[in-house]
Structure 1
């Protein structure tokens, strides 16, 4: 079977696992108080279910990176949001809205255009030790900046989660190529140990950052994670791994159009899921019961006009 088709198939299953994990994390975030610490969260079975699903998705993602480049595998990660929408709606006991279907269609069309422009074939180039240190240091600096105290921590944490996950994927490709292709150097080296530590730290950090972001709901934070993830991975792949779009400069046109459609679709999906969450909260509030007049109950007395009645005079009256 073609290596590109294998990468696409593995990426699709990985996206489904990530979608199930995102729904589980969002439900856990909805049942958790903002003051709950990490230790209390680690004691819940729902958290470990999400960890297991994320681990399965990550394993499939690693194998997909062996057969396809970052510019091909990472855009398919946007399908996580497409799968999470019906799963989240089913979990909430509602139907998928028309806006959500529109967003799904736009996202799929955008991904199709990106796949046509993405490069194919196997990848053999890896990061050097200075490059891995530079990528790791820059990522930690960006995460520290986004994690600063502020008024909108949810979307900023979602952006940090997407960046750390995307960078972890880029670093993971260096590990997989180095382990399976012995022409890239020794199997055990300072470079690979450093990359493995970065991958572990960024993978767990992205999971925790996403859990914090999902406290504001599933739609908008997951949309931001979905956008930031491939952007970060593609930046590393094109800047340091020598990956290019297939077809040269001409393929840049469908890639840009596909990116615009995918961004619009992700925005629609995030907006629709946020509106659905708001509607669910408003429906949960009981409607006020109609007031009934009870005899003897105090109520304001409205002034009534005096009726015209015949008056009798005390002086000279007939």
Structure 2
């Protein structure tokens, strides 16, 4: 069953990577990242379906295998995404891109493995949920404002980081809805940060630096969920000198790889005549 779980998670990562590459390709070709334009583009919608399939496979994998096996397989989506994005542009991925992605993947894997698994039933009250949503909104707003005055690579990273914060908040709410005690209004609240995250992510993709945008998303989303889980749900954080050192080293690797990806050539295709 563990092998089956690892295989499902790996295939799910491939679907997620393909979906992200398709959506970035269309967001960069469209005349703007507005959802109303992107929703009329079949390949962008196909990318959304691929992301949905990848997410579903990841959830099924968690039913058959432990988190310590499934989560590292999810990290592979970054290694799959760059070749997929390069293939859409009829070129080969550069060695530097793949090396940077590998460094980020190793860092993310280290971070995932040192976070203890929480087995209790989470609870989130109205006050804590308001702090969760308000805090995520405030952080993403600051990142969005900073991105408006940044270089293209930094803008892509900041917008994708803002999306990752909102997706982390969404994941925290979803975890409570699935496994814990919750208030009825949580059901209506969940789509709000998810939709805002989707909009910000498409803006990040439209900049053209797909590698750094996708890497920033992959790093921020799980770390935000872990932080919210620890602060609001009482979930455990790594303890002990060894775990702390591993977490710090893994975080440094992920950050260094993201910076390296930011220095690569933007993945912006030729303008789309249909968009004009």
Which TM bucket (shorter chain)?
0.7 to 0.9
Aligned to 1:296: none
Residue 225 (structure 1) aligned with residue 217 (structure 2):
yes
Q: State the TM-score, normalizing by the size of structure 1.
A: 0.70
2:257 to 243, 265, 280: 265
Residue 141 (structure 1) aligned with residue 145 (structure 2):
no
8 A Cα contact 2:156 2:212, kept in partner = no
Superposed displacement of residue 80, structure 1: 2.8
Aligned to 1:208: 199
Question: How many angstroms apart in 2 are the aligned matches of 1:238 and 1:264?
Answer: 25
Question: How many angstroms apart in 1 are the aligned matches of 2:121 and 2:30?
Answer: 44
Superposed displacement of residue 248, structure 1: 3.1
Q: 1:116 to 1:249 in 2, by over 3 A?
A: same
8 A Cα contact 1:106 1:265, kept in partner = yes
Residue 22 (structure 1) aligned with residue 12 (structure 2):
no
8 A Cα contact 1:89 1:95, kept in partner = yes
Residue 94 (structure 1) aligned with residue 94 (structure 2):
no
1:140 partner SS = helix
- How many aligned residue pairs are there? 263
Q: If you compute each CA radius of gyration, which structure gives the higher value, 1 or 2?
A: 1
Question: How many angstroms apart in 1 are the aligned matches of 2:5 and 2:117?
Answer: 10
8 A Cα contact 1:223 1:270, kept in partner = no
Q: 1:131 to 1:252 in 2, by over 3 A?
A: same
8 A Cα contact 2:75 2:109, kept in partner = no
Aligned to 2:29: 31
Question: How many angstroms apart in 2 are the aligned matches of 1:238 and 1:142?
Answer: 18
Cα deviations across residues 157-201 of structure 1 (Å, max 9, x unaligned)?
A: 2222111111111211111213xxxxx5xxxxxx34332223222
Give the alignment's Cα RMSD to 1 decimal: 3.2
Q: State the TM-score, normalizing by the size of structure 2.
A: 0.79
8 A Cα contact 1:161 1:207, kept in partner = yes
Aligned to 1:176: 178
